Structure 1
Amino acid sequence: MAQLIKLKDYISRYQQNILLYPSRYVRLKKQKWEGVKKAFDTQDMKIFYEDNESLDDITEEKESLFLKIRGMMNKKPKEEELLLFPAAVKEEEDKEEQIFSFDYKANALNEPQSEEQLKLQFLNQLFRFQLKWASSTLTEKSTVKKAFYYDEHLKYFLQRFPDTYLVLYKPVFLLKNAPIDLEVMMVTPTAVWCITILEEEDSAVYLGSNEKFWVKKYNDKEKKTLSPLIALNRTEKIVRGILDRHDVALPIQKAILTRNGYIDYPTIPYDLKIIEKRNYDEWFRMMRTQQSPIKAIQLKAAESLLQYCLTTSVRRYDWDAPEEEES
């Protein structure tokens, strides 16, 4: 399951430490899956939650820890907070990780009957956990739109690709004090993929060109649609400029993806990949079978891109002392 390192303009833990969280994610996923699989194989449902404290216990300890740290900080600037008490911060993050376990209550009425069903339920809960990491840190949080919890494209990029792929989903970049919405990016060990999704009606045919508008054919009807190349070229240009500025020599792949349609483009640019019904399986197989581990150059590319992302967040209330305590 790929890692969501940036979602829109939400704050992300990966922005704090791109070297720490990718490996932490892989470890956590492996640890939790082994527990879930053991419970399924032995039919001992208690294993699903036997090594996890109850949420109430975690919350109670969490509030106590917050009060302890908060009193010591004496309202230090927030950029100093994580440096002041690394042990306390690690303890707090470890407790938050414990909340990610196979939710027995959520699945009690729909217990998995096969390992495939088990995997799907596990991935769906891991998906929600990823949204938390992509929208909060220990001290700040962003409000996630409910639509993202049901976004099939977001689920596709996270659930169908390897753990070593780092995803920026519709990120907002801040360049020259202006916010710019960009397309999906996947930072893999061997390349940065800039991807525009073009999926509407099943078996729709898109007639590609170098013009501002393309033509979509469906059910004997024709309709003009804005060329996906406009947003894709803008994304690729910005990514290339950032990587060049930071001396990151990682190839950039530019692709239009339509799993349920066709694209006819007689004069396709040499640097553009068209991924549609006729060649999707081949491309998907190639992407899934890459066995490269996470590389230093990949992390440097991700870190460089995250530096230019816009972040909108608010202070987590449990890190702010009440007014009477401040006085």
Structure 2
Amino acid sequence: MAQLIKLEDYVSRYEWNAYRYPSQFIRMKQDNWKKLYHLWRNEAFVGDQQQANMEPAASKWKSLFKFGFRKTAEETAKNSDVTDLPATENELRHYFLDKLYPVQLKWASSTVTEVSFVDQTYYANDRLKYFLKRFPDTFLVMYHPVFNVKKAPVDGEIILISPIGIEILYLIEKQPGTLITADGERTWLVKEEAKSETKILSPLLALKRTEKILKSILKQADIALPISKVVLSPTNHIASLKAPYNTKLVGKHAYEDWFAEKRNLVSPLKNHQLKTAEHLLKNCRTTAIKRPEWESDDNSVFPNDTV
């Protein structure tokens, strides 16, 4: 699971120590997974259990859903009647990563002393959740960070910091069947089925703006890490007569190959990667308030008496 180190202008505990928290997150994730997997193997499906034995296991499993994560009313109602246990290890992994996602948001919006007000739509943001769940643990994600440029706030695009480089992503998702044409530096064409063409602002402008900011920060810190730009559309084809310089156009037909390349990258966290994250975070804007003294900072995924 990739690590969300910055979300908009929210305070992030990675800002405190960019070297400590990435490895701490990986250890926390591994420890909680072992606990959950042990419960699943030893209490959920041990051979053909009798119904009398299944009821205590289901009751204990239900308690996992009662931990203090923020949920919408719909999610709470949906989960209140959960009794079925994940049938396969793959289903268990998805369940676990879904439970880990609110912890990611907590780490990306609070520290021991400060907290930011999170847009509640992020708890149901399927695209952000999808990226975090599917990328390796050693990918550090900055999701639309706000940079300080000459004391002025400048919005950035999605930034992936991997052990081997940085990718700046611009995500386009239109209705299926829509054709996107990279028509020029300033505007692109969008053609929906049975509709006339419309123009949109070229994603290259936003990508270049973010790239310029990153290059300036890394140059001052004497960091040499390659930066590439990607226009990403999982749902639509992107047509272009000429590929933009140092920018990949990844439409729906190339999306799976691009994604598989990221998922198959096997590498530990690198010192230059953490140094890059540290300097980028130092140049981001943060909006937060003092944290209430009575608010707990439990970083476990599940309650100790349950898993």
TM-score, with structure 2 as normaliser: 0.83
SS in 1 for 2:238: strand
Report the equivalent of 1:293. 268
Q: Indicate conservation of the 8 Å contact 1:183/1:195, yes or no.
A: yes
Q: Indicate conservation of the 8 Å contact 1:157/1:167, yes or no.
A: no
User: Is 1:158 the counterpart of 2:105 in the alignment?
Assistant: no
**1:49: Cα distance to partner?**
10
User: Is 1:31 the counterpart of 2:31 in the alignment?
Assistant: yes
CA–CA distance in 2 between the matches of 1:318 and 1:35? 30
**1:110: Cα distance to partner?**
4.3
Report the equivalent of 1:140. 114
**1:297: Cα distance to partner?**
0.4
**1:112: Cα distance to partner?**
1.7
**1:107: Cα distance to partner?**
7.7
User: Is 1:218 the counterpart of 2:187 in the alignment?
Assistant: no
CA–CA distance in 1 between the matches of 2:251 and 2:286? 33
CA–CA distance in 1 between the matches of 2:205 and 2:245? 16
Q: For each residue in 1:272-309, what CA deviation from the matched residue of structure 2 results, as whole angstroms up to 9, or x when unmatched? A: 11111121121111111111110000001111100111
User: Is 1:114 the counterpart of 2:118 in the alignment?
Assistant: no
RMSD: 2.3
Q: Indicate conservation of the 8 Å contact 1:135/1:142, yes or no.
A: yes
Q: Indicate conservation of the 8 Å contact 1:139/1:319, yes or no.
A: no
**1:211: Cα distance to partner?**
3.8
**1:319: Cα distance to partner?**
7.3
Match among 170, 179, 183 for residue 205 of structure 1: 179
Q: Indicate conservation of the 8 Å contact 1:36/1:47, yes or no.
A: no
Report the equivalent of 1:192. 166
Q: For each residue in 1:128-160, what CA deviation from the matched residue of structure 2 results, as whole angstroms up to 9, or x when unmatched? A: 111000000001000101111111221122111
Q: Which runs of 5+ in 1 are unaligned?
A: 57-104, 321-327
- Relative contact order, CA 8 A, sep 6+: which one is greater? 2
Match among 255, 260, 268 for residue 280 of structure 1: 255
- Alignment: residue pair count: 270
**1:47: Cα distance to partner?**
7.9
CA–CA distance in 2 between the matches of 1:211 and 1:220? 26
CA–CA distance in 2 between the matches of 1:106 and 1:5? 31
CA–CA distance in 2 between the matches of 1:300 and 1:209? 37
CA–CA distance in 2 between the matches of 1:299 and 1:240? 16
**1:48: Cα distance to partner?**
6.5
Q: For each residue in 1:13-55, what CA deviation from the matched residue of structure 2 results, as whole angstroms up to 9, or x when unmatched? A: 00000111011100010011111111111225488799x9x97
Paired amino acid for 2:278: E
- The aligned runs of 1:96-115 (5 Å cut-off) are 108-115=82-89
C-alpha change, 1:265 and 1:313, in structure 2 (3 Å) is same
Report the equivalent of 1:231. 206
Report the equivalent of 2:17. 17
CA–CA distance in 2 between the matches of 1:35 and 1:13? 25
Report the equivalent of 1:258. 233
Q: Which runs of 5+ in 2 are unaligned?
A: 45-56, 69-78, 296-307
Report the equivalent of 1:167. 141
Bigger helix fraction:
1
Q: Indicate conservation of the 8 Å contact 1:19/1:299, yes or no.
A: yes
Match among 215, 225, 242 for residue 240 of structure 1: 215
Equivalent pairs: percent with the same residue?
41
CA–CA distance in 1 between the matches of 2:134 and 2:178? 23
- The aligned runs of 1:57-76 (5 Å cut-off) are none
Q: Indicate conservation of the 8 Å contact 1:12/1:133, yes or no.
A: yes
Q: Which stretch of structure 1 is more off in the superposition, 213-222 or 290-299?
A: 213-222
